[in-house]
Amino acid sequence: MKKYDIIFLSILLVIGLLALLGFKLYENHRSTGNAYAKIFYQDVLILMIDLETNDYIIYNTTYKNDIYVDRAEEGIFYVPGALMTAAEMAELWAQDDYAFQNEIVGIRLVVKDAKIEVDYQWSPRDLCELQPPTNSNLQPIVCLPNRLVVSVITSMQSDEFIPDTVME
């Protein structure tokens, strides 16, 4: 590599780091101190979770009967996934009695330490489970094979969140 190429790459690296720092500062400036996860399935908002309290809102969609929130106090939520069938659930059912007893076919989300993560799902390379837990709006969880996206909102006021309801 030429000397000018190294200088150019160094400048690009510095610009990238400054941009990332700028985005983080902007996120912190707009943050209300509350973090909420919005769960979208097939481009439809189906569920919102307060990452501090595990309170939730289930939206009145065609998927509302495929969302299980009985373990919300533990921080465990089950949502639909496009590739999920009973055959793919054997591993989860072996370790999760609740999922087995209720014959849940879907993705298990876990909220822990005010962060959300995909704890169980099936896809060709299981990339969704490899994504780290998040509480940042700059780091969504995207599970394309299962058509699931989890985005985090940090600029919403707590009085805008009305938990434990099915919204119409």
pLDDT of residue 159: 58
For the stretch 118-165, pLDDT in tens is 999 988 877 788 899 999 888 899 998 899 999 998 866 665 656 544
**34-167 CATH pick, 2.60.320.10, 3.30.1180.20, 3.40.50.150, 3.90.1150.10:** 2.60.320.10
Which H helix or E strand runs over 20? helix 3-30
Q: Would you list the domain boundaries of the chain?
A: 1-30, 34-167
pLDDT of residue 130: 86
CA–CA distance, 106 with 85 (Å, rounded to integer): 8
Low pLDDT (below 70) residues in the chain: 1, 23-24, 26-33, 155-168
pLDDT of residue 31: 54
Q: Please, which residues have CB within 8 angstroms of residue 32's CB and are 6 or more apart in sequence?
A: 154, 155, 156, 157, 158
Contact criterion met (CB below 8 Å) for 58 and 46: yes
Neighbouring CB atoms inside 10 A of 49's CB total: 26
Amino acid at 78: Y
pLDDT of residue 161: 59
On the CB side of 156, CA atoms within 13 Å amount to: 18
